[in-house]
Structure 1
Amino acid sequence: MMLVRKNSSLLVGFLSGTSKISILLSPSNTLTSLRLLTSKADDPSPKTPFIVKYLIDSLGLSSPEADKCSKSLTHIKSPSNPDSVLEFFRKNGFTDADIKRILCSHSRVLCAKVDSTLKPKFEVMRDLGFSDTQITKLITANPLTLNYLSYCNLRPRIEFFNTFLDSYDDIVKAISKDKSLLASSLEKTIKPNIAFLKECQFSFERIVSLLIRGRGVIGRAPKSLKSIVKRVNELGVPHGSGMFFLTFRCLCGVSVDMFDAKMKLLASLGFSQSELLSAILKQPLILCLSAKNLCEKVDFLVKEAGCELSYVSRYPTMVGLSMTKRLIPRNYVMKLIMERGLLKKKIGFFYFVSISERNFLNKYIFSFQQRMPELPNIYRSASAGKFLY
């Protein structure tokens, strides 16, 4: 009986709205709860960081570009300093496209102080004789050079480079492509490297070429440079020859481990040791090809073009030719004109793929067009990856 009364009182309390459950389920509280849930669901995405929005609004960077540039700028909360940097660059002849390129490469320049950092660097270059156009080209091409532009660092280098390079335009080209020419020690690295290359019978012209176009060569550690020359010597390339220079340039971009791996790969494809050396001495650029590229081309030359490995090693230039633009379409045409009996004698595959496009069209496309009118279209289609027969 007591249990029934107790349950009855609980039920009355529940129905009368005095219980905790009834309070929670009251119309006002239910509406409040719904509002809270709705407000959370409708909350906007996290607010865009100031610097990201600044980069988008001030220079028109895309969101991904701004996100990438902002990683080292998250401490910037005010437009004051960035505005002064952008104004400085614009006053010095940089377009917004130039500034955008600079920031995408070296975004921390937005943190620089204009009066104490940027102005002195520009004044140094002007005092040394660089024109505003040359300064703009240099900094836009290689923004990291800003870190090394000081009078005591730049002046002796300009004086030294002037003994090899004819003009400030050439110096700008050199430094633009290779910041190590400013970052590496002049006395401990650059001068010793050039002296060593002279000992290896590199001509004046080739040293100039390395300065202007040899990115990361003259400014690398002397020990590394000597190691590369040692590897070229081991291949048996004579000093002073054009092939020594070409092999040296190729090996500058290939580490010892990469070189050993490439030699093992070529051996695994069936080349003998003598064939390997012959191929590399004639075309060292094959060392710069990726493993996949190298395997695909050798496989094509042997299986599709019918070349022996010994033939490939005699004419390794073929391995450096484009598969889609040269090897495949010309091989396709060669087989067709041979099947039609248009060739009076067999032509070596190397000659067929190595002659210039103009000569190839005249000798093997247009000359046979009368007997095979569809040939130009066949070759054009094959060059586009479409084979009509």
Structure 2
Amino acid sequence: MKRSPAFSLFSKTLCFIYRPRPADALLSSSSSYSVAATGSGALQPSIMAEYLVTSCGFSPENATKASNLLGGITSRRQPDSVLGFLKSHGFDDTHMKDLLSWNPRCLLLDVETTLAAKFRSLQELGFSQSDITHLVLANPFAINYDVRTVVHKIRFWQGLIGSNDVLVNLFKSRRWFLGFSIEKRIQPNIEMLRSCGITDQKLRTILRYRPTMVTQRAETLRALISRVEGFGVPRTSGRFHWTLLMLSTLSVERCNAQKKLFEAFGWSEADFLDAIRKTPFFLTGSLKNLKMKMEFLVNEAGYAPSYIALRPVLLTLSLEKRLIPRYQLMAALKSRGLCAGHPKSVTYMLCPEKKFLERYVIIYKKQFPELIELYSARK
């Protein structure tokens, strides 16, 4: 099934990364570290700093900072073994520099008892070598966790999402996801969403577009749910989770500014709330963009503001690629007495491109041969 323009517009706005607190992220076990890396006779920090510069591509300044965390290393053998293991499992130089920039203490890990065991466990969970690379880079401290902790968290997300491919994409786009406590943060938020009537299928939609919704504090999520209900969207509505997603991207201040914008075009508060209940995604556009669309639809296309309020889906469409070229094409057809029946704006504006060309362009190529060129030039 094809995504609607509204869904595409909404998905492009969701590029927010939320990181857990350091206390959540640094849940590592000292027993994971190599005996050789925690003994006496440690190398001087200056030697380790030089190692990080020459072997890992660090800048001298960053190498000096990181070397202070590696006081237990007694020889090059320990970090060399870690780098060699990572390289043998698909990590290139850029990957390793990225990982070590966040988690230099992974150079202290024992390869056989810690790294190899964790990578085997991830493979047994169905992840490919490439998947594991992305998972570790997105959650740099995950390789410090006890293997049982990693497996527990991964199995939880697998059961919830149902697809390793989707899960890997989630981890790639949202760093630190494994750093959050399942029992203290994730599960309570999920139960709160389920209490709103959100099914597992809708929950997966939320995780796809806005995974940070289940990692935020409970009071923040509770306030967001109250905002949705304040807009008159009941929990029983099929659009409740979409409105939840939309409002999660908008501050109260920005939402109020958008309300004032539409009121300036003649909308009432009831018009604004009705539009949100019908098509919540229209508010994801910037104030400037929404104003330009309203000005075009009202001043040039001649639609009444009340007409647009009843069809807010028009405001989710691209001004330059959809609204202007299609309106101008239809105006050109009507100027020649073509396109009988005067199709409604919503009909031809929402029509998929292929069908639009078939219905309103190709069918008139004999009477209006330059039409397709005219339409293409205006897109």
**Interval of TM-score (by shorter of Structure 1 and Structure 2):** 0.7 to 0.9
Is structure 2 residue 122 aligned with structure 1 residue 100? no
Correspondence for 2:188 among 166, 189, 192: 192
The residue that corresponds to 1:264 in the other structure is: 260
- TM superposition shift of 1:348: 2.1
The residue that corresponds to 1:46 in the other structure is: none
Q: Would the alpha carbon gap of residues 360 and 168 (structure 1) be closer, same or farther in structure 2, given more than 3 Å must change?
A: closer
The residue that corresponds to 1:353 in the other structure is: 349
- TM superposition shift of 1:329: 1.0
TM-score (norm 1): 0.71
Q: Deviations over 1:251-307 (max 9, x none)?
A: 222233333333233333432111111211111112221112111111111122111
Q: Would the alpha carbon gap of residues 336 and 73 (structure 1) be closer, same or farther in structure 2, given more than 3 Å must change?
A: farther
User: Could you tell me whether the CA contact under 8 Å between 1:177 and 1:213 is conserved in 2?
Assistant: no
User: Could you tell me whether the CA contact under 8 Å between 1:276 and 1:313 is conserved in 2?
Assistant: yes
Give the gaps of 5 or more residues in structure 1.
1-48, 60-65, 384-389
State the alpha-carbon separation in 2 of the partners of residues 251 and 232 from structure 1.
7
* More deviation, 318-327/254-263: 254-263
3-state secondary structure, aligned to 1:113? helix
Return the letter of the residue paired with 2:358: N
State the alpha-carbon separation in 2 of the partners of residues 52 and 305 from structure 1.
63
The residue that corresponds to 2:310 in the other structure is: 314
Is structure 2 residue 117 aligned with structure 1 residue 120? no
The residue that corresponds to 1:156 in the other structure is: 152
User: Could you tell me whether the CA contact under 8 Å between 1:148 and 1:182 is conserved in 2?
Assistant: yes
**Structure of greater relative contact order (alpha carbons < 8 Å, 6+ residues apart):** 2
Larger Rg: 1
Q: Would the alpha carbon gap of residues 224 and 110 (structure 1) be closer, same or farther in structure 2, given more than 3 Å must change?
A: same
The residue that corresponds to 2:365 in the other structure is: 369
Is structure 2 residue 290 aligned with structure 1 residue 294? yes
State the alpha-carbon separation in 2 of the partners of residues 257 and 180 from structure 1.
29
State the alpha-carbon separation in 1 of the partners of residues 370 and 113 from structure 2.
66
The residue that corresponds to 1:88 in the other structure is: 85
Q: Would the alpha carbon gap of residues 218 and 346 (structure 1) be closer, same or farther in structure 2, given more than 3 Å must change?
A: same
User: Could you tell me whether the CA contact under 8 Å between 1:112 and 1:118 is conserved in 2?
Assistant: no
Is structure 2 residue 351 aligned with structure 1 residue 382? no
The residue that corresponds to 1:245 in the other structure is: 241
User: Could you tell me whether the CA contact under 8 Å between 2:233 and 2:277 is conserved in 1?
Assistant: yes
**Number of aligned residues:** 321
Return the letter of the residue paired with 1:126: R
Identity %: 27
State the alpha-carbon separation in 2 of the partners of residues 193 and 314 from structure 1.
34
User: Could you tell me whether the CA contact under 8 Å between 1:365 and 1:376 is conserved in 2?
Assistant: yes
Return the letter of the residue paired with 2:94: K
State the alpha-carbon separation in 1 of the partners of residues 112 and 257 from structure 2.
46
State the alpha-carbon separation in 2 of the partners of residues 109 and 180 from structure 1.
12
State the alpha-carbon separation in 1 of the partners of residues 238 and 61 from structure 2.
46
The residue that corresponds to 1:305 in the other structure is: 301
- TM superposition shift of 1:114: 5.3
Return the letter of the residue paired with 1:148: A
Return the letter of the residue paired with 2:215: G
Return the letter of the residue paired with 1:308: A
